[in-house]
Amino acid sequence: MYTQGLDQKDKARQPTGEETAAQQDAFQARVDAEEKIEPKEWMPAAYRRTLVRQISQHAHSEIIGMQPEGNWLTRAPSLKRKAILLAKVQDEAGHGLYLYSAAETLGVSRDEMVGDLLSGKAKYSSIFNYPTLTWADIGAIGWLVDGAAIMNQIPLCRCSYGPYARAMVRVCKEESFHQRQGFELMLELCRGTGAQKAMAQDALDRWWWPSLMMFGPNDADSKHSAQSMAWKIKRFSNDELRQKFVDVTAPQAEFLGLRIPDAALNFNAETGHYDFGEIDWSEFHQVLAGNGPCNRERMEKRRAAHDDGAWVREAAEAHAAKRAARDAA
């Protein structure tokens, strides 16, 4: 999910001169024994590289993810909903920070990661390049997008790299409120007026397929997943997680009285799973390439927030310097 774009860039897959086969084997043996790898312990350069990219992309996704929901903070229909949405958006900022913190244990600096996001070099989850057009979108995001994220994040709690696994435990505890408030919001709309229910249906119509795309390409097109699985960074394949998400979510949609926009969606009694239709991968690739509805806006807002906040950072530094000088005197 947070490994979009990882595949193309990582060319150095052979161990370098400094990494002997013995070291690689010893490392793999630790991973196979379900031992956690901790900071400063020996690890293949490729393992470090792939984790830095994945964890930082995950962090960037949380930060950018604040924007589509932040869009509705001033227009929440009640004080209760406003307070809830504020708390959720604050959590997303916090999640980003846990993840930057975990990534830094691998030797990359916060400056470098933030710089890569602002320059456009770093990627973030494509789902956040879609707009929130109505209040119901907030419900759909909590229910579907956070739902998909949870599906991906629970196995990550057992990933081989200690700091990432522990950050995920913290995130998962907070994420379940995110999904529940979204579902509850949708429920209230579905039990409301005809117009409210229609708004909920419209949001589901627009967020369903992008949520399925969050799990990444089909396994057959995901050649480099194998190494992540061997290193126990990735525990389940894209298709496995996507299938689980559909199986879990389809009954929830039924309960809401909403129709999932997939004519091929059907419970298969033989397999015990839901069959579902083909994803339009051309849309996924367009959004990844920067041509989604909100890619440019997300980056502009992030850069503007960074620039507009400069005075706060400068003030904090000036204050710290002044106190240090006073204490030294």
Partner 1 sequence: MSNNGWPLYEVFIRTKSGLSHRHAGSVHAADDQMALDAARDTYTRRMEGVSLWVVRSDRIVASDPAENSAFFEPAEDKIYRHPTFYEIPDGVENL
Query: Which of 27, 72, 98, 143 is the binder for partner 1 (CB under 8 A)?
Result: 98
Query: Which of 69, 104, 137, 175 is the binder for partner 1 (CB under 8 A)?
Result: 104
Q: Give the nearest distance from C-beta 314 to partner 1 in angstroms.
A: 9
116 binds partner 1 (CB under 8 A): no
40 binds partner 1 (CB under 8 A): yes
Q: At 99, list the tokens.
A: 């993840």
Query: Which of 1, 51, 55, 114 is the binder for partner 1 (CB under 8 A)?
Result: 114
Q: At 158, list the tokens.
A: 């057992």
The interface region with partner 1, picked from 60-68, 87-95, 223-231, 252-260 by CB under 8 A, is: 87-95
Site residues for partner 1, 255-294, by CB under 8 A, read: none
Please, which residue, 90 or 268, has the CB nearer to partner 1? Answer: 90
Return the number of other C-beta atoms located less than 10 Å from residue 1's C-beta.
23
Alpha helices in the chain (DSSP H): 6-9, 21-32, 45-70, 79-104, 110-119, 135-140, 146-156, 162-190, 194-213, 225-230, 238-256, 281-286, 295-308, 310-328
Q: Give the nearest distance from C-beta 321 to partner 1 in angstroms.
A: 8
Question: HEC profile for 147-172?
Answer: HHHHHHHHHHCCCCEHHHHHHHHHHH
Please, which residue, 244 or 303, has the CB nearer to partner 1? Answer: 303
The interface region with partner 1, picked from 47-55, 64-72, 271-279, 316-324 by CB under 8 A, is: 316-324
Q: Give the nearest distance from C-beta 57 to partner 1 in angstroms.
A: 18
Q: Give the nearest distance from C-beta 317 to partner 1 in angstroms.
A: 5
End-to-end CA distance of the chain: 53
Please, which residue, 43 or 46, has the CB nearer to partner 1? Answer: 43
Q: Give the nearest distance from C-beta 100 to partner 1 in angstroms.
A: 9
Q: Give the nearest distance from C-beta 297 to partner 1 in angstroms.
A: 21
d(CA 253, CA 85): 22
Contact yes or no for 108/278 (Cβ under 8 A)? no
Contact yes or no for 139/203 (Cβ under 8 A)? yes
The interface region with partner 1, picked from 19-27, 48-56, 90-98, 265-273 by CB under 8 A, is: 90-98
Orientation of helix 238-256 relative to helix 162-190, angle to 10°: 20
The β-bridge partners of 161 are 37
Give the total of residues touching partner 1 (CB under 8 A): 31
Return the number of other C-beta atoms located less than 10 Å from residue 293's C-beta.
12
Q: Which residues bind partner 1 (CB under 8 A)?
A: 38, 40-42, 87, 90-91, 94, 97-98, 101-102, 104, 109-111, 114, 163, 167, 170, 174, 306-307, 310, 313, 316-317, 319-320, 323-324
